[in-house]
Amino acid sequence: MDQAFLTVINELDTEVAVSWVSQRCYQCLYQQLGVVPAVTSPGQPSSQEFTVSTQHEITLQLNSTAVNLDLCTVPFHFGERGNYSLWVKNLNTSVVNCSIVTDADPVNSYIPILVAFLVFAGLGLMSALLRAIVGLDLVRGVLFRIGGTFETERLINSELGSPGRVVTPVTDNILPPPPSPSKRLRSLDTFRGISLVIMVFVNYGGGRYWFFRHESWNGLSVADLVFPWFVFIMGTSIALSINSLLRSGSRRTSLLKKVVWRSLQLFIIGVIIINPHYCLGPLSWDNLRIPGVLQRLSWSYLVVACLDLLVARGHVDILPTVSDNAWWSSCIDVLLYWPAWLFVLLLEVLWLCLTFLLPVPGCPTGYLGPGGIGDMGMHANCTGGAAGLVDRWLLGENHIYQTPSTRVIYDTHVPYDPEGVLGSINSILMAFLGLQAGKIIIHYRDLHSSIISRFLIWGLFLGVISAVLTKCSTDQGFIPVNKNLWSLSYVTTLACFAFVLLVLVYYSVDVKNWWSGAPFFYPGMNSILVYVGHKVFEDYFPFRWRMVNTQSHAEHLTQNLVAVCCWVLISYVLYRKKIFWKI
């Protein structure tokens, strides 16, 4: 899978060393592919077969082993399962020609994902048409006459399986629900469900497509989007939950105890599910991985929820609009909570100081690179710079992730954890930006245009910061977008996307009622259960089964989509039975 066959045919009277480097590998050393012998006799070229990666364009470099001379450099994007020949010929005594010939056409590996998209798009269109038909007055009348008024009304109000707009609140699966029912924004659960469904799909393999895998270092793929969005919407839910609980008369001290206890529960569950063989016996401390997704969620939740408990107001009236004469009216939803903002900004200063000023033995101060063969191999053991050092110092080398994504392209050999300690500072910032979105909803409730405009302003503001930090490039900026580091530009970029996506979902679900949020709404209502369940049962049927051809994208994609659909169906059944797992 993701490989092609290459035959290098050598017509030279010297051995040829073949090396390669991926175009996605920034300032990398060439890696040797193999050596092709010299011709044994005139007219009898020698050849050697190799397998090459098809995920990205690669550059082949051919050198003469006799005089260590560069013969030619050939950039090429090979197709999956294609057969290719690279001919190395002498045009004259001083010029060598290298040309690639396609012997067998590659397969189109993207057809399965196109078919899957068309199938799900068709199902969505059929569902929308069916809802529209059921909503017609004529059809409603027929249904009333056939099934009786009460039963038919129940069917229509269920929106073919979609819940009504007013339900008993379930507060983010972390804080308990307020004692009295209130209107719940379906867009928030829908947003959370979108993030969760993509996260589950990616964790199950994403059909083994490269763009559903995490970037090896700098840059973004689909897999790099969802976890920050989940952190973001958690912050939004914290704001709404705490506001609702304070309005209902709950004491801050009792809420603080619950926040600490639930954070501890999240952390413990996270440690259990990310370590292998926990079902076979006690976990061993010798190689227990400590950081992880739920651990980072617990830490971010603990800090942001505590901050909000300190500054949140129990009774908040709708703020004056920006048209008010007061100069501070347009910023009052920030100014009211300035102590929390000050604390988060100080945390960010701490991240910047540690990242760029902390001395790292054997590495440049402020190094943000992947190590390995990156930076021409000069800093092979410096993966992550200060972030890697802090994790090894605080947690120990055996208690962090042993096979990071940098090994794929950058050939690193140093353990590095993408959910490490230093990056958790920026995950707090991500959750706090989500908290700010919640504050906007609280203060401008029912003023849809004000909420949408402020979301868009925040998205633009964060987008400008990202453009400055990255210089609108993948690797050339002051602070590149990097999921492994959870860099500042990564947070601002993903928060920008989150505000824009939240606008689209909020407008279509809660403002215009164009979309009920299904099917993402259901896993969004049971997010912790779905996340923990998909990790615990990922190796069991029907989420995984023995495949006929493990090298087929179509089979992997089918298996992963079936697994995701199973969790959506499970969450829907639990929703209908009003079962919600809260910790």
Where in the sequence numbering do the catalytic residues fall?
A: 214
SS3 of residue 548 by DSSP: coil
Amino acid at 214: H
DSSP per position, 502-531: HHHHHIIIIIS-----TTTHHHHHTHHHHH
The DSSP code for 179 is S
Token pair 């304070």 is at which residue? 246
The DSSP code for 208 is G
CA 321 to chain centre: 35
Secondary structure tally for the chain: helices H, strands E:
17, 8
Q: Which two tokens stand for residue 182?
A: 């209130």
Tell me phi and psi for residue 326, to 5 degrees: -65, 135
- Please name which of 387, 417, 390, 388 lies closest in space to residue 402, comparing C-alpha atoms: 417
Token pair 């920034």 is at which residue? 26
Q: Which two tokens stand for residue 82?
A: 């294609």
Tell me phi and psi for residue 50, to 5 degrees: -140, 160
The DSSP code for 41 is B
Cis peptide before 42 (omega within 30 of 0): no
Distances (CA, A) of 174 to 251, 428, 571: 17, 16, 17
CA distance 201 to 193: 12
CA distance 529 to 565: 15
Mention every residue, 6+ apart, whose C-beta is less than 8 A from residue 8: 16, 18, 34, 36, 47, 48, 49, 50, 62, 85, 86, 88
CA distance 397 to 400: 6
Strand 83-90 relative to strand 3-10, pairing: parallel
471, 472, 477, 481 alpha-carbon torsion, rounded to 10°: 140
CA distance 352 to 117: 42
CB hemisphere CA count around 522 (13 angstroms)? 21
SS3 of residue 546 by DSSP: coil
CA 488 to chain centre: 16
Asked whether the beta carbons of 462 and 494 are under 8 A apart, the reply is no
- Please name which of 218, 491, 498 lies closest in space to residue 352, comparing C-alpha atoms: 491
- Please name which of 417, 407, 426 lies closest in space to residue 231, comparing C-alpha atoms: 426
Return the bridge partners of 72, or none: 62
Q: % helix / strand / coil in the chain, to the nearest 5?
A: 50, 10, 40
